[in-house]
Amino acid sequence: MEYAINIDVASPYTVYVGTFLLEETGAIARESCGGAQALVITDSTVGPLFGQPVRQSLETQGYTVHMEMVAPGESSKSGAVYLDLLEKAAELELARTDIVVALGGGVVGDLAGFLAASYMRGIPYIQVPTTLLAMVDASIGGKTAINLAAGKNLAGAFWQPRAVIADVGCLATLEDAQFADGCAEVIKHAVIADAELFGELEATPLTPGLLKSDLARAAYLIARNVDIKRAVVSADERETSLRKLLNFGHSIGHGIEAASGYELGHGRCVGVGMLAIASASVTAGVCPADVPDRIAALLRAHGLPLNVDVDTQAVYEAALHDKKRASDSIDLVVPRSIGAAAISHAPLDEFKRILEVGLACTEAYAREEKETSSPEEDAC
């Protein structure tokens, strides 16, 4: 089954979710972009797996294809790699009517998208996400960026793709930990916007096993998440208000990522961030106690940790460099119930207390899980 979800922004485009879509890349690119040359940006893990069908599909539609591979991981979202790719695009004499194809996970999508946004002041590009995290989140909405020494995604631009092609068959190649990383964003969407989806995930978790037993349901769940992000992005393309809800768990999660030297996966960090802010919100009396309990259970069911071993002060200092900070405050997304959340602006001293309380609670949840003791004994 194939889903076609239209993203209604200033430059509208379609997200395709289904199987055997890599072979349609060329046709979709031709219809949505045109152009004569295609610069495919991928990484050295994804390229050998999926580069050939994408190349062949593009060549069949008359494109001259150039493929550039970068190293996997956050290290490639750097100024040096970005400038090398810009020089390569110029060397190939890409015209403003030519295209960039981002083939890979969130790192490749961010990097290739920023390349497309800035080369000749903007050329067309399409996203071909190959990870769950990229399919349900990173490839949609037009956020493109690279990292700076001071923090994650601090140099970037809003630049919408002309199309997103999510072939769920690609997910079968992911390691379990990488698949679980994407599940954190799925859980995030359910917490902030869809209580029914949260309940469905409790009943039937989105796991690698589901890909084997019921691929159609996996595709449905992915499309459902795309639709949640569609509604938010269409209402607030430039993240001035409503779109900030998509940052649930990210203010703390990005701090954890940075404090770990980006050795921990994005989804794992966001999952801990979600549990931390939900737990701290219970302590503050603005969130029912069952919300972090249910988040913890769902993280566990999807193979995600409830706590990570990082220094709280280091997380706080890293979070201060996040783009969600505004001088003496920082944006936080606070769950009010499963399926509803609100945006809060916390002064930095208050944020530090929230962080300390929240991370202490995640330690308690993790200890409870390890010791299989009752919530009354250990949980916040």
What does the pLDDT read at residue 264? 93
325 is catalytic: no
Closest by CA position to 104, among listed 180, 33, 47? 47
3-173: CATH topology is Rossmann fold (3.40.50)
Which of 239, 257, 368, 369 is the catalytic position? 239
Catalytic residue, from 30, 66, 77, 143: name it.
143
Task: State the catalytic residue, choosing from 185, 237, 368, 369.
Answer: 185
Domain 176-378: assigned CATH number: 1.20.1090.10
Tokens coding 130:
């190959």
Q: Which of 224, 230, 266, 268 is an active site residue?
A: 266
Residue 324 is a catalytic residue: no
Task: Locate the domains of the chain by residue range.
Answer: 3-173, 176-378
Q: 247, 268, 368, 369: which is the annotated catalytic residue? A: 247
162 part of the active site: no
Residue 121 a catalytic site member: yes
Query: Do the domains 176-378 and 3-173 match in fold?
Result: no
**Which of 250, 268, 302, 352 is the catalytic position?**
250
Contact 338, 296 (CB under 8 A): no
Catalytic residue among 254, 268, 294, 352: 254
pLDDT value at position 325?
83
Asked about 250 being catalytic, the answer comes back as yes
Pairing relation of β-strands 99-104 and 125-129?
parallel
Q: How far, in Å, are 63, 103, 346, 350 from residue 281 at the CA level?
A: 53, 38, 12, 12
Of the candidates 73, 302, 296, 271, which has an alpha carbon nearest to the alpha carbon of residue 180? 302
Dihedral sign for Cα 16, 19, 20, 22, please: positive
CA distance 62 to 30: 9
Catalytic annotation present for 247: yes
Any idea what the Cα angle at residue 242 is, between residues 241 and 248, rounded to 5°?
105
From the candidates 93, 121, 175, 376, which is the catalytic residue? 121
Angle CA(168)–CA(170)–CA(172) in degrees, nearest 5? 95
Residues 194-203: pLDDT tens digits? Answer: 999 999 999 9
Catalytic position from the list 55, 66, 162, 229: 229
DSSP 138-165: ITSS-EEEEEETTEEEEEEEE---SEEE
Predicted confidence at residue 374, as pLDDT, reads 52
Q: Tell me if residue 188 is catalytic.
A: no
Stretches in the chain below the pLDDT threshold 70: 1, 372-380
The residue count of the chain comes to 380
CA separation for the pair 60, 315 (Å, rounded):
49
Tell me whether residue 87 is one of the annotated catalytic residues. no
